[in-house]
Structure 1
Amino acid sequence: MGSMMFKPIRQYLFRLREMPLHAERTRSLVERMNESLDHHLQHSSREAPKAVDELERVTRYQTAWNAYARGWEQGPCHQEGGHLGDEWGTREFEKGIFTRFCSPYLENHAVVLEIGPGGGKYSAMLAPKCRELYCADVAEEMLKRTAERLKEHGHVAFVKVDGFDLHQFEKDFFDFVFSFDVFVHLDIEDIFCYLREIWRVLKPGCVSVIHLASLLSTGGWQKFVAEADLNRAQFKQAGRFGFITPQIAEKFLMELGFEIVAIDTEINRRDFVVVFRKPR
């Protein structure tokens, strides 16, 4: 990223230095903050994500969803006896998604990856239908909740990922990759890079199902316009939606070499699901 990342901060520090109130204390604070920024610039780089040290690899996704999980019981969406994630959709809707997009591709011997299990609502449906289930999430607090929900299933693994890639998994490892209510929150670059990782870890001839948010839909456009002012520059809300279009998803998948099985734009007023296969 270089020093450009910190230009707005340095401009703020310059203005702060010129403020008349508490001049000496302010100048001292500014100098310490500038020293901290200089140290950071000398000891970090964002040129290649895989070269970034572990502290630098903490993403806003991890920070936001860990906070959501920690505060869920005290939040307005908590339901006594329920699970985190129950607030997003109904049981009927979730069963419909599973029946349409998971059941046709699951076999008892399948090794399955779920990206972003959250509170485990789809994990609980996937687990009885496969030989091994790997739940990968950027937020360790989400993984704890999924692990508690699936504690009776001994064939489920919980893997903390970093928000950049799926390097914990070998090439051609999974029979099925599924993600719902996750990619709708990713920036477009992260969507592409995760699709590229799915190509690497998916076995030839096998299928992945991913849920995305469409800017072309009525609900997607309304949500984008309503929240546009909240997501400008570096001031992006936690959990913001990352809108793309079915055409962009198709472009990504075709360029990566996938075969598109289906693009379903009728699941609701806002989103769509892509079903795609890695050729043999």
Structure 2
Amino acid sequence: MAEYESLIESQFIQPYITSDDPVLEIGVGGGKTSKLLKKSCRELICADISSQMLQATRSRLGDDRISYIKLDGLTLNGIAPESVDVCFCYDTMVHIEPRDIFNYLNLIPHVMRGKRLCVFHHTNILSDLGWEKFLSEWQNNLLGQRHGCAFSVMSDKIMEKFLHHLNYEVILQDTKSVPRDCVWICKAPAID
């Protein structure tokens, strides 16, 4: 856990997030990344499709400088337009299928303002470790049924296509820090 926290803080939080930034985290899980984000930002919006995960995060972190939004999985309803400078989505897109990732990427620019900085982390089945993960899980995920913790069938090439199509400006594509996956630092397009 300490290595996980150190990696996220040093590579993806400290270089990009300041104490002036309102930050949206999509997919908070139990709040391990939220805890790291809270130390670096002005305000944190924790958003998740699971009421249980939001409650677990609230129990862990409280309400000081944090708001909690239950998402429906299709929209970002409940998050004010042009309200956040940073969108952080780490250890979430690894479980989301490509069409749903594309949907979120399409919605995110509407809630962004100022820096419009995004940190996205997803699986990369084209990496050696990503392919091993796919081979270990594929039989549990047939006929449109997904095992709850299964990783999605995503790649850096698909994400690159999505980001380009939706006019995100790529700042960094990192396939080294987490060798099984890919992390993107990018700027969301401005919405007129």
Pair in the same fold by TM > 0.5: yes
- Write the letter of the residue equivalent to 2:142: R
Structure 2 contact 19–40 (Cα < 8 Å) conserved:
yes
2:13 to 102, 105, 108: 102
| Aligned residue number for residue 164 of structure 2 | 254
TM-score, length-scaled by structure 2: 0.93
Q: Deviations over 1:47-86 (max 9, x none)?
A: xxxxxxxxxxxxxxxxxxxxxxxxxxxxxxxxxxxxxxxx
2:30 to 119, 135, 150: 119
Larger radius of gyration: 1
- Worse overlay, 166-175 or 139-148: 166-175
Structure 1 contact 199–256 (Cα < 8 Å) conserved:
no
Query: RCO greater where, 1 or 2, for CA within 8 Å and sep 6 or more?
Result: 2
Q: Deviations over 1:187-237 (max 9, x none)?
A: 110010011111221225421001100011111111112221211113321
Shift, 1:243, TM fit: 2.3
CA distance in 2, matches of 1:274, 1:147: 27
- Write the letter of the residue equivalent to 1:127: K
Alignment of 1:175-186 (within 5 A): 175-186=85-96
Change (3 A) 1:234 1:133: same
| Aligned residue number for residue 152 of structure 2 | 242
5+ long unaligned stretches in structure 2: none
CA distance in 2, matches of 1:219, 1:256: 28
Structure 2 contact 28–48 (Cα < 8 Å) conserved:
yes
SS at match of 1:266: coil
| Aligned residue number for residue 183 of structure 2 | 273
Q: Which has the higher strand share?
A: 2
| Aligned residue number for residue 227 of structure 1 | 137
Change (3 A) 1:234 1:245: closer
- Write the letter of the residue equivalent to 1:258: Y
CA RMSD of aligned residues (A): 1.5
Shift, 1:279, TM fit: 4.7
TM-score, length-scaled by structure 1: 0.65
1:132 is aligned to 2:51: no
CA distance in 2, matches of 1:226, 1:108: 41
Structure 2 contact 118–185 (Cα < 8 Å) conserved:
yes
5+ long unaligned stretches in structure 1: 1-89
Q: Which runs of 4+ in 1 moved over 3 A?
A: none
1:188 is aligned to 2:98: yes
- Write the letter of the residue equivalent to 1:107: T
Q: Percent identity?
A: 36
Shift, 1:104, TM fit: 1.7
Q: Which has the higher helix share?
A: 1
CA distance in 2, matches of 1:116, 1:140: 11
CA distance in 2, matches of 1:205, 1:178: 13
Change (3 A) 1:205 1:129: closer
| Aligned residue number for residue 124 of structure 2 | 214
Change (3 A) 1:125 1:205: closer
Structure 1 contact 204–279 (Cα < 8 Å) conserved:
no
SS at match of 1:149: helix
